Amino acid sequence: MSSLGRADLATIAADLGKRLAAELDAAVDLRHDLHAEPEVSGAEHRTAARMAAALGEPDAPVVAETGRVIRIGGDGPPVVLRAELDALPVTERTGAPWASRTAAMHACGHDVHMAALAAVGRAARDADAAGGLPAPILALLQPREEGVPSGARDVVASGALAALRPAAVIAVHLQHQLPAGTVAAAPGTVNAATDDFVITVEGTGGHAGYPQLAADPVVALCSAVVAIQQIVSRRADPTHAVVVAVGALEAGRAPNVIPTSATARGTLRVLDEADRPAVHAALRDVVTHTCLASGCRASVTITEGEPALVNDPALAHATFGWLRAAGFEVDTSFRSCGADDFSYYTASAPSLMLFLGTGGPLTLHNPAFLPGDEMVGQAASALLAGYLGALSMLDDRNDT
């Protein structure tokens, strides 16, 4: 990118903003279409095709099986703008005229993210045709953000991004914990590293009326589930965020039979990657010895998931002013133990996740979660601010 002054960037921002505004009505229609026909992780064929067509490149290259990459603009390192394609296996309960017609639902805002990226991409293509796009945009339509294996991990492993030498990677995500009109863009770690675990307890089955002749894996497992909560309060630094959560329990099938085994599935989350090994070790230690006290044997299997999501400080600071210029309140401290596989991109280029507040009482993943159509324009404005932040950061580097 050639060197640009602040006045030049302001002119570019105004031009792109005007072009973006002209795309919002079509983007809202696209949001309704995507929301009505959602597809779950790994099956996002129609969604990817619809998005590629909306961005003016129906034959865009495929990445990570069901994803697409679409370059807008000329040569040089692109600024990557990501949106997620997949929906959740949730039955919608919104009553909207354009509610899901499938067994899935865009209950995490991905329909809004995609529509926003389409609006920015179309505005950028229009600007490029007029000779006014200073750095190319790469629209990354990522599959499997909600599923396993991670779509972002597979995009990175494919080499598709590395070959293009991205200047920055930007994403926006709706966030119910923030008030409407606020964008969080904190530098540093903003989302947790997350791992899944399975606890399997083996005991001795028997008759419920003769518990002394059995080794009850249900009691052992329940004791272990309670005991591992102490990892947070007694085995982790109290100034560090750590979560140990169990979401599923499975045991016998009859009320009068002590089963031979019981299992639990859960998740571990840490904001500081350095805490990961110690939390893993503590989980195995507490589960093993708690179950031994009940005469049972236990095994723990840990499947490592996403790394912590770390926003590039320089990119975050470069974006603050553009967010404020777009009318947002900027939150520089919000962090959570949520997780997003966007974190895999942080090793590829300076990366920035922007959390856009929706306000209201409903959380992400709720079957009634349905942010208003105005969020499409807000998400698009946040993405554009991230692009402008990347441009200003690149311009500062060119000046040095």
pLDDT of residue 396: 63
Please say if the pLDDT value at position 254 is more than 50: yes
Helix (H) or strand (E) holding 270: strand 261-270
Q: Where do the CATH 3.40.630.10 domains begin and end in the chain?
A: 6-191+308-399
Mean pLDDT for the stretch of residues 378-400:
85
User: Which structure tokens are listed for 162?
Assistant: 């590395």
pLDDT of residue 1: 45
Residue 81 contacts residue 16 (beta carbons within 8 Å): no
pLDDT tier, 394 (very low <50, low <70, confident <90, very high otherwise): confident
Please say if the pLDDT value at position 331 is more than 80: yes
Collapse the DSSP code of 382 into the 3-class scheme (helix H, G, I; strand E, B; otherwise coil) and give the result.
Answer: helix
Backbone angles phi, psi at 194, to 5 degrees: -135, 140
Q: How far from chain centre, in Å, is Cα 97? A: 27
Q: Where do the CATH 3.30.70.360 domains begin and end in the chain?
A: 193-304
CATH class of 6-191+308-399: alpha beta
The candidate with the shortest Cα–Cα distance to 357, out of 373, 338, 378, is 378
Distance CA(320)–CA(300), nearest Å, equals 44
Of 152-156, 312-316, 357-361, give the lowest mean pLDDT range.
Answer: 357-361
pLDDT above 70 as % of the chain: 97
Of 27-31, 109-113, 395-399, give the lowest mean pLDDT range.
Answer: 395-399
193-304 CATH choice from 3.10.620.30, 3.40.50.720, 3.40.50.300, 3.30.70.360: 3.30.70.360
Mean pLDDT, the chain, rounded, equals 95
pLDDT tier, 2 (very low <50, low <70, confident <90, very high otherwise): very low
Give pLDDT tens digits for 122-177: 999 999 999 879 999 999 999 999 998 999 999 999 999 999 999 999 999 999 99
